[in-house]
Amino acid sequence: MQNSRSKILSIALTFCFIIISCRFFYWQIIKAPELKEKAKNQTYKIEKISPDRGKIYSSDNFPLVLNQTTYQLSLYKPNFKEDIDQLLAKIEQINPNFKTENEESIDKFKNNSSQKWITFNTEFNEDQKKSLDISGIEFQKIEKRFYPENSLATDLLGIISKDNNGTQIGYGGIEAFYQKQLQGKTGFIFGPQDATGKTILNKKSWSSDAINGRNIFTNINRSAQFYVEKILREGIDKYTADSGSITIMEPKTGAILAMATLTATNSATMSSIRNPAISDLFEPGSIFKPLIVSMALDTNSIDTDYICTKCNQPHVIGKYNISNWDSEFHDNSTLQDIIKNSDNIGMSYIIAKLGKDNFLNYYQKLGLTQKTGVDLQGEAKPTIKTEWPEIDLATASFGQGIVVTQVGMLQAFNVIANDGVLVKPKVVNYFAEGNKITKNKNDKETRVFNQDTIQKIKNILKYAVENGVTAKLKPDNLEVCAKSGTAQVAIEGSYENNSSTIASYIGFSPCNNPKFTMIVTINNPKTSPWGSSTAAPIWYELASKLNDLL
């Protein structure tokens, strides 16, 4: 009997042992990798280290864009150790506007017992955060951009905002174009955490350091940019225009010294993402004429002794009549007078001599068929016709029927300022990463016109400035080579039902070894439609300032 009992006991024990062994086998062998991973996830965590976004500086090393850390305040009811009103009074002591800024949400939070948590939009600085180290108050860190010069150069700088994934990225201008360089590289620490969830830093962990974004040093001349925005604002108001744009370039290097677009004071604020100076296409009008004359001189289609013998009447092409802007005729106009008087009839005969193929060849060489490649986001690609009937070629001679961006037109005109060589516009001068400096690469320069042609066109432009309608605007101490333009604005391919114009003035100073090339465009000025009466005075006022600054 006893023997059989001990047998049963040993069988039962063996059976239990087998079951337990099987269970051990299941958990320790079969489920081992899964459990190992679970344990690792509970004891190890990955912590992201955010890099500092690169700053943006002007040419005088002034920070146009800095980083700023602020904090958003949250309240969590379960952690309150005092009455909410007492808590709010303490917050109000530190930030006097807090209650008034958040009155509505505070009332809702107080009256809704089921709402445990609230976050306010009011921002607190580091000192304020430290003063509010109270149970029930939590802070979230926010990295922002700070602009010491406020809205200065907004079009050039762009903005940053969160994308769909909640990551801060650049929109428009330098912020977007150089997103990769500015953002840096996120670092991480993968290591064990303690009971409170803090990483145990001295235990075995794997980490990769965050690499801060590169600082960007631009060519933006802060003082020039300041005057551009000030004088443009005054000009838009004075000439009751819809908007206006100005871009200034250093002739030899293509460095963009200033660029701004402003709208009328009473119109809607423009988006900081879209920069009309690079994204809006317009018909350049008469400011295009010096380029056509340069093409004709360069190909020897005409010479400086050219005289327009048919300028005493409209130029009839098929059913179209080409006339002058002032309805006057200038018989036997010299080449200088054609530019001085902005003679459309004379220009239409010059382009006929130049020919379509030569025109298109130079048009392409001047970079007008493609984007300039300026280092700003959002540049528009100009469009060009495929068919060129005689009338379209004739209107192109005075800048109608072709479209360019403001920066594209400036790049092309700058070829005259830069002795016939095309340089690409560049906003950024160099990048700095610690002590390492990387120069922004320059594209290959290409010669468009020969130097003899340049000398001839410079003489013509100088003559036109000193003897034309804008002569009285030119300060005596300035030598200027420039041209005004007034382009009609087409609506659905027709100019007939629209009286608005784009008034412009483009030029450089002095004529030899110029310090700057500048374009001013004023959209729909109501006091006078002409570039010589609206854009030109703005150009000369700025030129006087630039002459002292540069």
Binding site for other proteins (CB under 8 A): 62-63, 66-69, 125-126, 146, 148-150, 152, 194, 198, 200-203, 222-223, 226
Nearer to other proteins, 70 or 324 (CB): 70
Nearer to other proteins, 194 or 331 (CB): 194
Nearer to other proteins, 67 or 547 (CB): 67
Nearer to other proteins, 103 or 194 (CB): 194
What is the C-alpha separation between 242 and 520, in angstroms, rounded?
Answer: 14
Q: What is the smallest separation between the CB atom of 68 and other proteins, expressed in angstroms? A: 7
3-state percent breakdown (helix, strand, coil) of the chain, nearest 5: 35, 25, 40
| Nearest in space to 170 (alpha carbons), one of 278, 51, 54, 49 | 54
Question: What is the sign, positive or negative, of the torsion defined by CA atoms of 236, 240, 243, 244?
Answer: negative
Q: What is the smallest separation between the CB atom of 66 and other proteins, expressed in angstroms? A: 6
Q: What is the smallest separation between the CB atom of 111 and other proteins, expressed in angstroms? A: 36
- Two tokens, residue 352: 């006929």
The DSSP-derived string for 111-165 is H-TT--EEEEEEEE-HHHHHHT--TTEEEEEEEEEE-TTTTTTHHHH-EEEE-TT
Nearer to other proteins, 7 or 198 (CB): 198
Q: CB-based contacts of 341: which residues, under 8 Å, 6+ apart?
A: 324, 328, 330, 333, 468
Nearer to other proteins, 126 or 209 (CB): 126
What is the C-alpha separation between 297 and 451, in angstroms, rounded?
Answer: 11
- Two tokens, residue 101: 């800024």
Q: What is the smallest separation between the CB atom of 275 and other proteins, expressed in angstroms? A: 21
Cis peptide before 276 (omega within 30 of 0): no
What is the C-alpha separation between 159 and 176, in angstroms, rounded?
Answer: 8
Q: What is the smallest separation between the CB atom of 194 and other proteins, expressed in angstroms? A: 7
**Alpha-carbon distance values, 263 to 41, 114, 179, 241, 497 (Å):** 56, 48, 27, 8, 23
Beta strands 481-488 and 501-509: pairing type? antiparallel
Task: Supply angle C-alpha 440, 442, 444, rounded to 5.
Answer: 165
Q: What is the smallest separation between the CB atom of 341 and other proteins, expressed in angstroms? A: 41
Nearer to other proteins, 168 or 304 (CB): 168
Nearer to other proteins, 194 or 466 (CB): 194
Nearer to other proteins, 151 or 312 (CB): 151
Q: What is the smallest separation between the CB atom of 141 and other proteins, expressed in angstroms? A: 10
**Alpha-carbon distance values, 242 to 50, 225, 278 (Å):** 43, 21, 18
Q: CB-based contacts of 228: which residues, under 8 Å, 6+ apart?
A: 246, 248, 258, 259, 260, 542
Q: Where are the alpha helices (DSSP H) in 397-450?
A: 406-417
Nearer to other proteins, 212 or 484 (CB): 212
Q: What is the smallest separation between the CB atom of 46 and other proteins, expressed in angstroms? A: 17
Q: What is the smallest separation between the CB atom of 515 and other proteins, expressed in angstroms? A: 20
| Nearest in space to 275 (alpha carbons), one of 177, 181, 422 | 177
Q: What is the smallest separation between the CB atom of 110 and other proteins, expressed in angstroms? A: 32
